[in-house]
Amino acid sequence: MKIEVKVPAVGESITEATIAEWNKSDGDIVARDEILMVLETDKASVDVVAEQAGKLSIKVEEGETVEIGAVVAEIDTEAAGAEASSSSDSTEPPPAPGDANVGTGSQKEIHPDLKNHMSPAVSKLVNDKNLDTSGIKGTGKDGRLTKADVMNAPTASASSSAPTAAAPTAEKTQAPPLPVAGGAMQEETVRKPMTTLRKTIAKRLVEAQQNAAILTTFNEVDMSQLMKLRAQYKDDFKKKYDISLGFMGFFVKAVVEALRDVPAVNAQIDGTDLVYYNNCHVGIAVSTPKGLVVPVIRNCEALTLAEIEQSIRHYALKARDGKISIDDLTGGTFTISNGGVFGSLMSTPILNPPQSGILGMHNIVERPVAVNGQVEIRPMMYVALSYDHRVIDGKESVTFLKRVKECCEDPTRMIMKI
């Protein structure tokens, strides 16, 4: 019996997805609930598992974009029992990598050391170019070979013909191309299709600029007290909660206090109405290799500092592993973006629609500042609030940012609620 593997519905507004990676090769025997492939949508990555055990037959290659409900593979459940019984009764060693393709006449044996480090698409490219992968260094995750690694590797025919290449003659006056590191010739350009996530990011950023009246106001925060507080309690905090004490948790708590004082920053436009949210659902912008995602920490007003830090780590790990779900990214009312982790001194963050405000954190730099009539060196951070002027007036934006500054410069204000 053959079971169709279809692209599942992964969100209300999502109509298509890209096959980011096949975890199994064509012809592999798969177990029930084993991950077959990773789908990339415009919001998140989704794992697709096998409904039944059997022999996998792939219909759509890695990197293709398909509609929801499309058939991308088949599983032959009858082949599962035959393969399982034959493998259990046999005393022969397991087949070498590439044996699954024996008889097709189109595949060559793949180097066994790197078989498990190649996706089906990369494996096919290796065979097409007749490469010895033992000398190719993988730049992907966990040393995995990528398509770029294979494309930039010299072919066997090229390397074998190099010693017999004819010497330049007097008629050839053009200078040879300059060599690059390793002696390989570097392509002038590399063209790659935009991922679904990157296309969506581009679309939403342009829409935000076109559909909102975005302004940005700035202030600076003296981080002396926060840094002193963190240094004093970080070891005890780590011991009790098994989580590092960072600055983001304090800024989330400060944003909650500011949102309570200035409710307009926690509001959104819905048609001709303004919707004010009583709860603070704060999105934390996280950079991943595939693009920027903004998982949402819900009801931050009811969370402790430790719970906020644990939530940040939880979503950061999910984003790193490509496990962010649609639910993780929806429902935010305000966003924080920390460009300071990359060294940014100042920026104007772009709104995350339909939200009306986003706070930009930046690098902490020691600068001379005037304190009580004296010049002192203090660790300072510029903060920026980009906001939708259709919802938030200038007075409200400045008041909000000033409140964030006060809470961070004097953390006891967040405890005393003053």
At 113, give phi and psi (nearest 5°). Answer: -70, -25
Q: For residues 41 and 26, is the Cβ–Cβ distance under 8 A?
A: no
Q: To 10 degrees, what angle do helices 248-261 and 394-409 make?
A: 140
User: Residues 6 or more apart from 225 whose CB is under 8 A from it?
Assistant: 408, 409, 410, 411
- Is position 389 annotated as part of the catalytic site? yes
Burial environment of residue 415 by CB neighbours within 10 A (0 to 12, 13 to 18, 19 or more): exposed
3-class DSSP assignment, residue 405: helix
Instruction: Name the pLDDT band for 42 (thresholds 50, 70, 90).
Output: low
Identify each DSSP E strand in 285-332 by its residue range. 286-288, 291-293, 296-297
Least confident stretch, 4-18, 96-110, 164-178 = 96-110
Q: What is the mean pLDDT of the chain?
A: 81
Among residues 275, 279, 257, which one has the least CA distance to residue 267? Answer: 275
pLDDT at 295: 94
Among residues 289, 214, 226, 224, which one has the least CA distance to residue 252? Answer: 226
- 210-416: same fold as 2-92? no
pLDDT tens-digit series, residues 218-257: 999 999 999 999 999 999 999 999 999 999 999 999 999 9
Q: To 10 degrees, what angle do helices 305-320 and 248-261 make?
A: 120
Least confident stretch, 59-63, 113-117, 187-191, 271-275 = 113-117
- % of the chain with per-residue pLDDT over 70: 77
pLDDT tens-digit series, residues 407-417: 999 998 888 88
**Superfamily, domain 108-158:** E3-binding domain (4.10.320.10)
Which one of 2.40.50.100, 3.40.50.300, 3.90.550.10, 3.40.50.2300 gives the CATH number of domain 2-92?
2.40.50.100
Instruction: Beginning with the edge strand found earlier in the chain, give each strand of the sheet holding 65-67 in spatial order.
Output: 45-49, 35-40, 16-22, 65-67
**How many angstroms separate the Cα of 246 from the Cα of each of 226, 229, 289, 345, 387?**
10, 11, 23, 19, 26
The tokens of 58 are what?
Answer: 């792939």
Q: For residues 330 and 306, is the Cβ–Cβ distance under 8 A?
A: no
pLDDT at 92: 45
Least confident stretch, 25-29, 117-121, 187-191, 301-305 = 117-121
pLDDT at 78: 84
Range 210-416 has CATH code 3.30.1050.10: no
What is the CA angle 355-361-366, rounded to 5?
165
Annotate 276-293 with DSSP letters as a single string. Answer: E-SS--EEE-EEETTEEE
pLDDT at 418: 80
Q: For residues 331 and 298, is the Cβ–Cβ distance under 8 A?
A: yes
- Is position 393 annotated as part of the catalytic site? yes
Instruction: Name the pLDDT band for 291 (thresholds 50, 70, 90).
Output: confident
Active-site hit among 99, 128, 236, 393: 393
How many CA atoms, within 13 angstroms, populate the side-chain half-sphere of residue 271?
Answer: 2
At 124, give phi and psi (nearest 5°). Answer: -65, -40
Q: For residues 89 and 37, is the Cβ–Cβ distance under 8 A?
A: no
- Parallel, antiparallel or unpaired: strands 357-361 and 334-338: parallel
At 284, give phi and psi (nearest 5°). Answer: -115, 115
User: Cα(19)–Cα(34) distance, rounded to whole angstroms?
Assistant: 16
User: Cα(94)–Cα(128) distance, rounded to whole angstroms?
Assistant: 25
Is 7 or 96 the better-scoring residue by pLDDT?
Answer: 7
pLDDT at 408: 96
Annotate 121-157 with DSSP letters as a single string. Answer: HHHHHHHHTT--GGGPPP-SGGG---HHHHHHSPPHH
Q: Give the domain ranges of the chain.
A: 2-92, 108-158, 210-416
Instruction: Name the pLDDT band for 147 (thresholds 50, 70, 90).
Output: low
Residue given tokens 């930046």 in the structure block: 362
Active-site hit among 113, 128, 132, 389: 389
